[in-house]
């Protein structure tokens, strides 16, 4: 399916929206009135603190809130500074709309008619009541970037009150595989490099100067670090924003990271430049592994055995035991090896020369980087901070989406955690700092592998056993044939809040097919593609128009944020409702208001100031209730300051809250260099698959995905193995001035405001490659994959590998409800193959292969 055509493209029958677009904002007051508002940006998950300057009710400028510099952001990005354009976008939705044409498709004119809020609430509530009485699971509530507006907590509380398990958010479209790799390795997720002390940062495809979580702290901390001599090396097929600012750019072939990382691991092990103390005491490296790949247990069946070098026998790791890190032994007549030895031996063939062949990075470069990483790690050294003697390891190998957005995203991401662990750069000064290790001990056990599934997104089922973060792209695929996934019901209705999921997902047209099968209610600020498939469309307020309990980030130096808010600065279109008030009203009309209130109290963990049953709450009252309970400060403080932060961490709080107290020494759980629980998970998958005759599961692939150690096979995703006639690697990325397609942050309008050239994207082609193919700058080119074809404009650059094409996301949108500027550029997701990572369900955005021709 190509560009939108026919009636819809010409906007026929789109009168309601077109008329609304011409409506003038409310007249400003005559007298001069200047106000400033402390609030938070919601355009991306950096949640920067902002100050809005408002003259006569019009937001004239947005600056960083200077008070947040101590906490997180010293500045804001161009999107944040231009954020008011989303609010003043004349293409905003202003009235509820009802579809009159039941057929759904890109070329189907929905025949939207304006309706009153009363009619909209009544229609939606009636349908919800019927579904709730029949089977609440038949309702799916999907949210995306919008969750940052009113928060996951409210949405989960609402779904819980309704009784549907189907609350689905977006993490598998961003970074889920990295989180799951963390969880399966050290029991929780989230890590950052300790850039205050890091001297060498190896960045495998993290793109934080352009668009990523924690970007605004990473930007600032990297710049500060460079002032004192921090070196950064970026390993990425494309000269990203981070690569352009780095000391060295290593253009690696897409998808092959794991091989380069493992080759570096081999070099470190062969050279003996590893932190044996850390590996032996904090990781499961010394645990003994049997021929079945499982850890050998003591007689109790649950205590791992190590080889005690004192008694020269297998033993549980207790106070007097000194475990051997390496070696092969015999226990009860059976050969066993330490997990570390299993890992070291698995790397036998992963030489730098082999890595050069696979990754395109010269063996000498890999060897140099490994040696420098080891040297700069200062293995064995300590640093005293605040009178505390701490492990000093000022190196970090870091990634975000680079290693995650792959078919083997968990394994790729795990390889990097292992590289850091080899030199002890985990929770050491200057290394990777982990967020609450072992917070979820169950993540270090085999997964449950539920079947049949309860949820439409297959979370934590046999299909994606470790998907703890929902699976954003799955619901619309399930809808195509629910029975074949074992789902015991057919979903009837979807609510979409602040997400344009189908556009944001690989193999995007498949998503729209799924969406066409349900009754859809869409809460958003503009008529995006999701709303085009809506039956009822409800206009939301932007983050400059409404109250929110705002998520907020901090640096690793601080204990976190107690509470933060966003507050309304303007309301140019006199909108009546926001997402929060919409779902509250629906809860009331469905007869579940008090249950929703009860769930809000539980979800927000309110203790003293709580929501009371039997009454309504405006959005401001909701925000004030939560604020007051969390901060114990009057709401007037929130209006004046916008946030309250926890204090600065001392050295103990920063470095000694995690790995050392949780993993170090005898009798404690361990950082899993060797993922023995993967063996147990695979066994369950096999058992459940065979017992239920599940044909959708390809067991050999699951076996590879659940190998207990990352290996070279994880560098060969399906398209790399199968699409042999497609010579180019196709990768995708975000841009600083463009972030996501969720319409609560309507980038198209912002980009137009930011200047020419930013309102479209290009196909980045290596200059030499393009010349050989007779392609010039500005030529129209065609990209063809096994999924489809799309056109784009060539941009010749030395900043991409000769065998790779790079295209940014979220351009070329097709909904007739957008400003025309949104439709420029290439919507690349429609031609990407989707082969989700098995454990996490993560989308494989960077694995597709393609052909390139001059159009
Ligand atoms: S868009 Fe993101 S990085 Fe930019 S100001 Fe807003 S929250 Fe900060």
| φ/ψ bin of 135: left (φ > 0), alpha (ψ from -120 to 50), beta (otherwise) | beta
CA of 77 to the centre of ligand 1 (A): 5
Contacts (Cβ under 8 Å, ≥6 apart) of 814: 3, 4, 106, 529, 823, 827
Q: Give me the pLDDT at residue 350, please.
A: 98
* CA distance readout (Å), 103 to 515, 524, 527: 11, 21, 17
Q: What percent of the chain has pLDDT over 70?
A: 95
Per-residue pLDDT at 442 exceeds 60: yes
Note the Cα 220 to chain centre separation in Å: 21
Q: Give me the pLDDT at residue 556, please.
A: 92
CA of 849 to the centre of ligand 1 (A): 32
Q: Give me the pLDDT at residue 740, please.
A: 64
Is residue 184 lining ligand 1, measured as CB closer than 6 Å?
no
Condensed to tens digits (0 to 9), the pLDDT of residues 257-280 reads 999 999 999 999 999 999 999 999
Per-residue pLDDT at 716 exceeds 80: yes
Per-residue pLDDT at 30 exceeds 50: yes
Condensed to tens digits (0 to 9), the pLDDT of residues 737-773 reads 877 656 665 677 777 777 777 888 999 999 999 999 9
Q: Which has the closest alpha carbon to 147: 464, 495, 410?
A: 495
Q: Give me the pLDDT at residue 758, please.
A: 83
Q: Rounded to 5 degrees, what angle do the CA atoms 346, 348, 349 make? A: 110
CA of 207 to the centre of ligand 1 (A): 14
Per-residue pLDDT at 670 exceeds 80: yes
Q: Give me the pLDDT at residue 298, please.
A: 96
Q: Residue 790: beta bridge partners?
A: 783
Is residue 745 lining ligand 1, measured as CB closer than 6 Å?
no
CA of 579 to the centre of ligand 1 (A): 21
Contact 169, 143 (CB under 8 A): yes
Q: Quick one: which atom of ligand 1 is closest to the CA of 78?
A: 4
Condensed to tens digits (0 to 9), the pLDDT of residues 354-385 reads 999 999 999 999 999 999 999 999 999 999 99
Confidence of residue 676 (pLDDT cuts 50, 70, 90): very high
User: CA-to-CA distance for 517 and 710, rounded, in angstroms?
Assistant: 39
Q: Tokens 């560098």 sit at which residue?
A: 715
User: CA-to-CA distance for 797 and 29, rounded, in angstroms?
Assistant: 50
Asked if 179-437+660-674 and 717-854 have one fold, the answer is no
Is residue 51 lining ligand 1, measured as CB closer than 6 Å?
no
Whether the CA torsion 497, 500, 505, 507 is positive or negative: it is: positive
Q: Quick one: which atom of ligand 1 is closest to the CA of 80?
A: 5
Pocket probe for ligand 1: among 40, 42, 45, 46, the residue whose CB has the most ligand atoms within 8 Å is: 46
Domain boundaries, the chain: 179-437+660-674, 675-708, 717-854
Q: Tokens 């007739």 sit at which residue?
A: 816
Query: What is the mean predicted confidence (pLDDT) over 202-210?
Result: 94
Q: Quick one: which atom of ligand 1 is closest to the CA of 76?
A: 5
Condensed to tens digits (0 to 9), the pLDDT of residues 810-833 reads 889 899 988 888 888 999 999 999
Q: Give me the pLDDT at residue 3, please.
A: 31
Confidence of residue 809 (pLDDT cuts 50, 70, 90): confident
User: CA-to-CA distance for 175 and 173, rounded, in angstroms?
Assistant: 7
Contact 501, 144 (CB under 8 A): yes
Condensed to tens digits (0 to 9), the pLDDT of residues 144-166 reads 876 677 888 999 999 999 999 99
Q: How many CB atoms lie within 10 A of CB 298?
A: 13
Pocket probe for ligand 1: among 39, 40, 41, 566, the residue whose CB has the most ligand atoms within 8 Å is: 41
Contacts (Cβ under 8 Å, ≥6 apart) of 840: 172, 176, 177, 179, 180, 181, 409, 410, 464, 466, 467, 468, 469
Structure tokens at 290: 């049997």
Condensed to tens digits (0 to 9), the pLDDT of residues 447-495 reads 999 999 999 999 999 999 999 999 999 999 999 999 999 999 999 999 9
Q: Give me the pLDDT at residue 144, please.
A: 86
Atom 8 in ligand 1: which residue has the minimum CA distance?
Answer: 48
Q: Tokens 């010293």 sit at which residue?
A: 74
Contact 486, 458 (CB under 8 A): no
Q: Give me the pLDDT at residue 742, please.
A: 61
Burial class for 515, CB neighbours closer than 10 Å (0-12, 13-18, 19+): buried
Q: Give me the pLDDT at residue 13, please.
A: 34
User: CA-to-CA distance for 393 and 231, rounded, in angstroms?
Assistant: 14
Is residue 140 lining ligand 1, measured as CB closer than 6 Å?
no
* CA distance readout (Å), 572 to 215, 527, 583, 843, 849: 31, 18, 23, 38, 46
| φ/ψ bin of 547: left (φ > 0), alpha (ψ from -120 to 50), beta (otherwise) | beta
Condensed to tens digits (0 to 9), the pLDDT of residues 184-204 reads 999 999 999 999 999 999 999
Q: Give me the pLDDT at residue 14, please.
A: 40
Residue 459 is given by DSSP the state B
The count of residues in the chain is 855
Q: At what angle do helices 579-590 and 593-603 cross, to 10 degrees?
A: 130
User: CA-to-CA distance for 546 and 58, rounded, in angstroms?
Assistant: 14
Q: Which has the closest alpha carbon to 852: 798, 772, 756, 797?
A: 772
Q: Give me the pLDDT at residue 17, please.
A: 44
Fold of the CATH domain 179-437+660-674: Dimethylsulfoxide Reductase; domain 2 (3.40.228)
User: CA-to-CA distance for 39 and 544, rounded, in angstroms?
Assistant: 8
Condensed to tens digits (0 to 9), the pLDDT of residues 32-73 reads 899 999 999 998 889 999 999 999 999 999 999 999 999 999
Dihedral through CA 437, CA 438, CA 440, CA 441, nearest 10?
160
Condensed to tens digits (0 to 9), the pLDDT of residues 322-350 reads 999 999 999 999 999 999 999 999 999 99
User: CA-to-CA distance for 760 and 529, rounded, in angstroms?
Assistant: 18
Q: Quick one: which atom of ligand 1 is closest to the CA of 211?
A: 3
Per-residue pLDDT at 171 exceeds 90: no
Q: Tokens 């609304």 sit at which residue?
A: 20
Q: What is the CATH number of domain 717-854?
A: 2.40.40.20
Q: Quick one: which atom of ligand 1 is closest to the CA of 64?
A: 5
Per-residue pLDDT at 16 exceeds 70: no
Mean per-residue pLDDT over the chain, rounded: 93
Note the Cα 360 to chain centre separation in Å: 28
Contacts (Cβ under 8 Å, ≥6 apart) of 599: 156, 157, 158, 160, 161
Is residue 80 lining ligand 1, measured as CB closer than 6 Å?
yes
CA of 29 to the centre of ligand 1 (A): 30
Structure tokens at 800: 């991409």
Atom 5 in ligand 1: which residue has the minimum CA distance?
Answer: 80
User: CA-to-CA distance for 169 and 496, rounded, in angstroms?
Assistant: 10
Structure tokens at 658: 């995690």
Long-range interactions of 131-137: CB distance < 8 A, separation 24+: 131/492, 131/493, 132/162, 132/163, 132/590, 132/592, 135/489, 136/162, 136/163, 136/164, 137/163, 137/164, 137/165, 137/166, 137/454, 137/489, 137/491
Is residue 76 lining ligand 1, measured as CB closer than 6 Å?
yes
Structure tokens at 454: 């309860």
Q: Residue 382: beta bridge partners?
A: 391
* CA distance readout (Å), 455 to 106, 139, 145, 463, 472: 27, 10, 21, 12, 12
Q: Strands 536-539, 519-524: parallel, antiparallel or unpaired by DSSP? A: parallel
Is residue 43 lining ligand 1, measured as CB closer than 6 Å?
yes
- Half-sphere exposure in the Cβ direction for 311 (13 Å, CA): 11
Pocket probe for ligand 1: among 76, 548, 753, the residue whose CB has the most ligand atoms within 8 Å is: 76
Residue 709 is given by DSSP the state S
Query: What is the mean predicted confidence (pLDDT) over 682-705?
Result: 97
Contacts (Cβ under 8 Å, ≥6 apart) of 676: 284, 287, 289, 293, 294, 295, 339, 708
Pocket probe for ligand 1: among 39, 40, 44, 63, the residue whose CB has the most ligand atoms within 8 Å is: 44
Q: Tokens 């696979």 sit at which residue?
A: 358
Contacts (Cβ under 8 Å, ≥6 apart) of 513: 476, 480
| SS3 (DSSP) at 658 | coil
Contact 371, 271 (CB under 8 A): yes
Query: What is the mean predicted confidence (pLDDT) over 575-589?
Result: 97
Note the Cα 349 to chain centre separation in Å: 33
User: CA-to-CA distance for 416 and 422, rounded, in angstroms?
Assistant: 10
Residue 126 is given by DSSP the state H
Q: Give me the pLDDT at residue 753, please.
A: 78
Pocket probe for ligand 1: among 40, 45, 61, 80, the residue whose CB has the most ligand atoms within 8 Å is: 80
User: CA-to-CA distance for 23 and 55, rounded, in angstroms?
Assistant: 21
């Amino acid at each position: 399916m190509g560009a939108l055509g026919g009636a819809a493209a010409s906007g026929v029958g789109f009168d309601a929206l077109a008329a609304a677009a011409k409506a003038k904002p409310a007249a400003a007051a005559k007298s001069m009135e200047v106000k400033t508002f402390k609030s938070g940006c919601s355009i991306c998950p950096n949640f920067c603190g902002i100050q809005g300057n408002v003259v006569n009710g019009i937001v004239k400028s947005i600056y960083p809130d200077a008070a947040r510099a101590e906490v997180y952001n010293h500045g804001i990005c161009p999107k944040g500074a231009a954020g008011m354009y989303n609010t003043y976008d004349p293409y905003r939705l202003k009235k509820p709309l009802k579809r009159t044409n039941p057929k759904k498709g890109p070329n189907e004119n929905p025949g939207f008619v304006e309706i009153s809020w009363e009619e909209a609430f009544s229609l939606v509530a009636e349908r919800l009541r019927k579904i709730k009485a029949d089977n609440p699971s038949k309702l799916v509530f999907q949210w995306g970037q919008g969750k940052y507006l009113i928060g996951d907590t409210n949405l989960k509380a609402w779904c819980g009150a309704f009784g549907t398990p189907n609350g689905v958010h977006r993490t598998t479209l961003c970074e889920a595989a990295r989180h799951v790799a963390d969880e399966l390795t050290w029991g929780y997720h989230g890590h950052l490099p300790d850039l205050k002390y890091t001297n060498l940062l190896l960045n495998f495809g993290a793109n934080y100067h352009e668009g990523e979580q924690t970007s605004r702290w990473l930007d600032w901390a990297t710049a500060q670090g460079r002032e004192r001599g921090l070196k950064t090396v970026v390993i990425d097929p494309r000269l990203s924003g981070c690569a352009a600012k780095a000391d060295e750019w290593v253009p690696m072939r897409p998808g092959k990271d794991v091989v380069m990382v493992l080759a570096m691991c081999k070099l470190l092990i062969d050279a003996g430049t590893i932190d044996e103390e850390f590996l032996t005491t904090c990781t499961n490296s010394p645990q003994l592994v049997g021929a079945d790949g499982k850890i050998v247990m003591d007689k109790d069946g649950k205590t791992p055995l190590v080889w005690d070098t004192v008694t020269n026998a297998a033993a549980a790791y207790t106070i007097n035991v000194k475990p051997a890190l390496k070696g092969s032994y015999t226990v009860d007549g059976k050969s066993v090896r330490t997990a570390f030895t299993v890992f070291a031996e698995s790397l036998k063939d992963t030489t730098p020369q082999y890595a050069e062949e696979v990754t395109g990075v010269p063996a000498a470069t890999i060897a140099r980087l490994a040696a420098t990483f080891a040297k700069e790690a200062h293995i064995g050294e300590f640093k005293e901070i605040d009178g505390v003697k701490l492990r000093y390891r000022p190196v970090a190998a870091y990634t975000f989406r680079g290693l995650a957005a792959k078919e083997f995203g968990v394994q790729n991401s795990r390889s990097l955690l292992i590289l850091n662990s080899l030199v002890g750069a985990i929770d050491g000064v200057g290394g990777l700092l982990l967020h609450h290790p072992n917070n979820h001990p169950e993540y270090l056990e085999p997964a449950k592998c539920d079947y049949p599934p309860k949820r439409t997104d297959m979370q934590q089922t046999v299909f994606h056993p470790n998907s703890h973060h929902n699976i954003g792209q799955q619901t619309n695929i399930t809808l195509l044939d629910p029975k074949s996934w074992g789902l015991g019901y057919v979903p009837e209705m979807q609510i979409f809040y602040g997400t344009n999921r189908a556009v944001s997902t690989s193999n995007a047209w498949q998503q729209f097919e799924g969406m066409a099968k349900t009754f859809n209610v869409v809460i958003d600020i503009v008529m995006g593609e999701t709303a085009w498939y809506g039956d009822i469309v409800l206009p939301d307020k932007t983050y400059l128009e409404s109250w929110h309990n705002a998520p907020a980030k901090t640096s690793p130096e601080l204990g976190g944020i107690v509470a933060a808010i966003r507050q309304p600065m303007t309301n140019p279109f006199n909108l009546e409702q926001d997402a929060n008030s919409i779902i509250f009203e629906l809860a009331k009309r469905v007869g579940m208001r008090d249950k929703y209130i009860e769930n809000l109290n539980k979800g927000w963990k309110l203790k003293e100031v709580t929501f009371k049953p039997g009454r309504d709450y405006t959005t401001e009252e909701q925000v004030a209730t939560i604020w007051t309970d969390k901060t114990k400060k009057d709401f007037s403080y929130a209006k004046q300051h916008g946030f309250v932060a926890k204090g600065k961490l001392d050295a103990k709080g920063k470095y000694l809250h995690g790995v050392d107290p949780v993993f170090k020494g005898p009798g404690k759980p361990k950082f899993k260099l060797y993922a023995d629980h993967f063996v147990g998970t695979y066994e369950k998958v096999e058992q459940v698959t065979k017992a239920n005759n599940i044909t959708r599961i390809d067991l050999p692939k699951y076996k590879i995905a659940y190998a207990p150690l990352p290996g070279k096979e994880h560098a060969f995703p399906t398209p790399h193995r199968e699409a042999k006639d497609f010579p180019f690697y196709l990768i995708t990325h975000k841009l600083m001035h463009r972030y996501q397609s969720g319409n609560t942050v309507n980038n198209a309008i912002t980009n137009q405001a930011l200047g020419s050239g930013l309102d479209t994207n290009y196909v980045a082609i290596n200059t030499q490659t393009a010349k050989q193919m007779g392609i010039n700058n500005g030529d129209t080119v065609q990209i063809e994959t096994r999924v489809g074809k799309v056109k784009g404009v060539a941009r010749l650059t030395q900043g991409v590998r000769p065998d790779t094409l790079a295209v940014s996301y979220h351009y070329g949108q097709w909904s007739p409800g957008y400003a025309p500027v949104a439709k420029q550029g290439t919507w690349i997701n429609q031609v990407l193959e989707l082969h989700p990572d098995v454990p996490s369900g993560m989308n494989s955005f960077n694995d597709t292969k393609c052909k390139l021709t001059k159009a």
